[in-house]
Structure 1
């Protein structure tokens, strides 16, 4: 162990040192705080936000070579560098095939999602239409009930009375003036056809 003399103290911990202390972000919160502080030091400075990276597709990769010159087999004569060339071309081809398979899977997943969404939308529309028809039926039945109950109050059915055709008389039994009394043999009772008589109430 070193002696507790000024020479044994680390340079960064020495109070005589003019070097700034290294500030290390210990937690993600502290790291984010330092980033925000550095941004707020100069608010007029324009912030460069990088564009989102485009997903790699098989079309973004260079196409495989159509003609491969100097093809080396597994027999003797292949140089030491040919193995690495083969490994690199094989890796590129596997990457291209993997991206093509991912595109096919994504297209299938999109089709499945669209199909499910259309089916759900159709079911929802059918259910909405069914509920709308139910509501209309209930409204119609309610309006018929209300109309029927109002009509019963307004219309009163009585038995058809037998009407005697004769002179109109006053309360005293004396014919009112202006009326002529027909002879007794001419008086006859007129019968009306039975039906509904509507009395309008005031």
Structure 2
């Protein structure tokens, strides 16, 4: 038995060989890994991202031909080579018609949405105006009822005492009646603890 020598190394793996190495099939994983390694080699380099696809419109399609020569159907005397030409032209025309119809549908839906939005805005404005008039009417009625006072006056607040509590009653001039404090019970539910 002989020892493994340089002659047993495949020629492509021998570092002395000038032969190119065999190319292996590229998998999607190795392709992405390769792209990432390329990007990391020079981080200062700007990235070139592909442009986003623009939506197809009728304007982006080529215009239909002005004059159609050799008009024939899919089977009316057409040779085997003409069938594919017919199919391609029919597909282009159907695509153009479909795009035109979708644009019309989009315009109609936009128009109906705009009408609905305007109607909702009008209703909201009417309700707001109605509430504003009602508030002003209420405010004016309160001002007249109070003896023609200023409209900026605040309505007097009644007692802030809790129901069932005892509050002191003062006479109209703000002082205590005859130096005494009268007690009045505010109506409400009173709980008594029974022993």
Q: TM-score, length-normalised on structure 2?
A: 0.51
- State the partner residue of 1:88: 88
Q: CA 1:72/1:43 → structure 2, altered by over 3 Å: closer, same or farther?
A: same
**Structure 1 contact 58–100 (Cα < 8 Å) conserved:** yes
**Structure 2 contact 143–149 (Cα < 8 Å) conserved:** no
Name segments (4+ residues, structure 1) moved above 4 Å.
22-25, 35-43
Q: How does 1:1-202 map to 2 (within 5 A)?
A: 44-73=44-73, 74-76=75-77, 78-148=78-148
| Unmatched segments (≥5 aa) in structure 1 | 1-21, 26-30, 151-202
Moved more, 82-91 or 136-145: 136-145
Moved more, 38-47 or 126-135: 38-47
The structural deviation recorded for 1:42 is: 5.7
Q: TM-score, length-normalised on structure 1?
A: 0.50
- Mapped to 2, the partners of 1:123 and 1:64 lie a distance apart of 47
RMSD between aligned residues: 3.3
- Mapped to 2, the partners of 1:23 and 1:93 lie a distance apart of 37
| Unmatched segments (≥5 aa) in structure 2 | 1-26, 151-195
Report Cα offsets for 1:48-78 as digits up to 9, x if no partner.
34443321111211111121222345344x2
* Larger relative contact order (CA 8 Å, sep ≥ 6): 1
- Mapped to 2, the partners of 1:56 and 1:83 lie a distance apart of 26
